[in-house]
Amino acid sequence: MKNLVILISGGGSNMEAIVRTAQQRDWPGRLQARVAAVLSNRPDCAGLARAQALGVPTAAVDHRAFAQAPDPRAAFDAALADAIDAYAPDLVVLAGFMRILTPGFVRHYAGRLVNIHPSLLPAFPGLHTHRRAIEAGCRVAGATVHRVTEELDHGPILDQVVVPVLPGDDEAALSARVLAQEHRMYPRVIERLLTAA
């Protein structure tokens, strides 16, 4: 059985889209794959309760607990990797995981780590993508699924979806339209990766 571990930091809507697709399309039976766990760096994030309601095991590794470590980011990433590795993951899926990962963490999961980013990369890496797209006068926006590399939001692109920027759009309206398309694209890309594995 191929194991997926999903990392979240917030509400977990992309995670839910992946889990529901796995259930509806019988990934365990068809692909010999399952969502083994959902992990978060925020113990109180709504997505963990959402995952539990879907019957998926959850765990939290609170990044704030490592604030006093000599290298807080590396200490957190090491603890997170230990938690992930307990599920022997074939694929680690970032779904709104709002932490910049250390190079060592990325190398540990090389070829197994994917992310979704709410812009048409390479445009607008980082934060506030929808606001930046509107401010730049873009006529289209969208989202990108990519492999994670040591350079933030610059890994090889696996798929993209394009969404028009409409007259009068604000950040919230554009974000909602892009997110609806993310929920379709991300499970599709993951299923394709599992089929090829």
Do residues 186 and 17 touch, judged by C-beta distance below 8 A? yes
Name residues whose C-beta falls within 8 Å of residue 160's C-beta, 6 or more positions apart in sequence. 120, 121, 142, 143, 144, 145, 185
Say which of 63, 117, 130, 146 is annotated catalytic: 117
Known catalytic residue: 117? Answer: yes
Write out 106-123 in H/E/C secondary structure.
HHHCCCCEEEEECCCCCC
Q: What is the DSSP letter of 99?
A: -
Active site residues: 117
